[in-house]
Chains A and B, each alone.
Chain A
Amino acid sequence: MSNDENMICNEFEKEIYLYLDNDLSTDRKEYWKQHISNCKTCSSLISDIEIVLDQARIELSEDLPDAKFEAMIEKAVQKKRFKIAKWLFPQGTAKEKFAFSVKLAVVGVLAAIAIIISLTTQQPNTVKTISNELLDWEGKKVTSQINEIKNTINLIHEDNWDKQIILLDQRMKVLEDKSDKFSFN
């Protein structure tokens, strides 16, 4: 094979899959068609690829059992259940159901512990506590008002109102005397 021919074959090797996919322009496809008909290397390259793919397709074929396939389809199309319903009523393998039982048992134990703790611990009555606090506050307010009144009374006492009245009397007398002096009677 000449160097030129070799180059053409290498070029074809690069485009062979596009040729097989019919993804080349009409001219290019026609050009390769011509080349293949005259080139043993390239025509056997195509047949080798076709053989590998055909045989691999047959030999590598695997399948699922019908029942399994049907169950998978069923699972794929089933309506989406609410998460909580799914959690509470699981459907599935024994393993999944066992996992659910374990979850349920754990939740049950935790709930029981919470109930026991709440029953054994003395909790302050919040309503009662607030009422007492309000009463205390009201009591303090009344007491402070009483004390204020007492203080005022004390102040009054301390100011010696009797003396003040006597002084006033005296002042009145002085004023009367003065007025007598100015009288023309």
Chain B
Amino acid sequence: MSATREQTLIEKCRNGEATAFGPLIKIYRKQLFSYLLKLCGNREDAEDLFQETLIKSWKGMNKYSELQKFSSWLFTIAHNTAMDKLRKRNKETMITETELDELSHSNDPLKELIGKEFRNKIQKAVEFLPFKQKEVFLLRLNGEMSFKEIAQATNEPLNTVLSHMHYSVKKIKRLLRSENE
């Protein structure tokens, strides 16, 4: 879908045209749901968060400014909604640095590993990331947000965000290699 079409839908939503909201969200539906599902870990919670994000974004359409990408704005709402819920539940899946370091190190090119039951492995790898790293990795992956935008959304310094991304990618690579040995 072109940027112009997205802009038209945004404008219609701002004017209260409810029929434009579905097509607008549909552009990011998969990415948004994938993000919430991977972040909270279960489908039921992800659906609740998705619903809440839709309600908040529809209500806040008038506050959206074109200075920000629509996807970044939408993912920031989703992220804050998820954080509120997770904070309430105090549910953070963590894996210690030591546990990951215990996994074997290999220098095989990553390309060779692709295609060998990759789905399960990468899911497991992301699931095992410490929460902050997972948060940054998923916002980058699904929200297609720049690191500056992620820093704003997560309220973290840019260097911290970059460091989370660096370690998350490193750990996923390491985990994938160890699984293939």
Contacts and interface: CB of A to CB of B under 8 A. Distances in A.
B47 A64 contact: yes
Interface in B33-61: 33-34, 37-38, 46-47, 50-51, 54-55, 57-58
A14 B141 contact: no
Nearest to A64: B33
Contacts of B30: 61-63
Q: Most chain-A Cβ atoms within 10 A of its Cβ — which of B110, B111, B166?
A: B110
Contacts of A59: 118-119, 122-123
A96 interface: no
A18 interface: yes
In this complex, the interface size class of chain B, counting residues with CB under 8 Å from chain A, is: 35 or more
A47 B109 CA distance: 10
B94 interface: no
A98 interface: no
Given A73-B25, A75-B55, A76-B58, A56 B141 contact: yes
A23 B119 CA distance: 31
A62 B55 contact: no
Nearest to B55: A76
Contacts, number: 97
A1 B111 CA distance: 23
B86 interface: no
A69 to B, nearest CB: 6
Contact of A75 (B51, B165, B172, B173): B51
Contacts of B137: 56
B21 A14 contact: no
Interface of B is mostly: helix
B15 to A, nearest CB: 13
Interface string A49-89: 10111011101111110001110110111000000000000
B69 interface: no
A64 B50 contact: yes
Nearest to B162: A17
B168 to A, nearest CB: 9
A57 B18 CA distance: 30
A47 to B, nearest CB: 8
Contacts of A52: 110, 122, 169, 172-173
Nearest to A78: B18
A53 B50 contact: no
Contacts of B38: 60, 62
A52 B37 CA distance: 19
A143 interface: no
Contacts of B58: 76-77
B126 interface: yes
A69 B21 contact: no
A179 to B, nearest CB: 116
Given A72-B50, A77-B58, A60 B147 contact: no
Given A17-B165, A18-B147, 16 more contacts: A21-B146, A23-B147, A48-B169, A52-B122, A53-B141, A56-B122, A56-B137, A59-B119, A59-B123, A60-B142, A61-B31, A62-B46, A63-B30, A63-B34, A72-B54, A76-B55
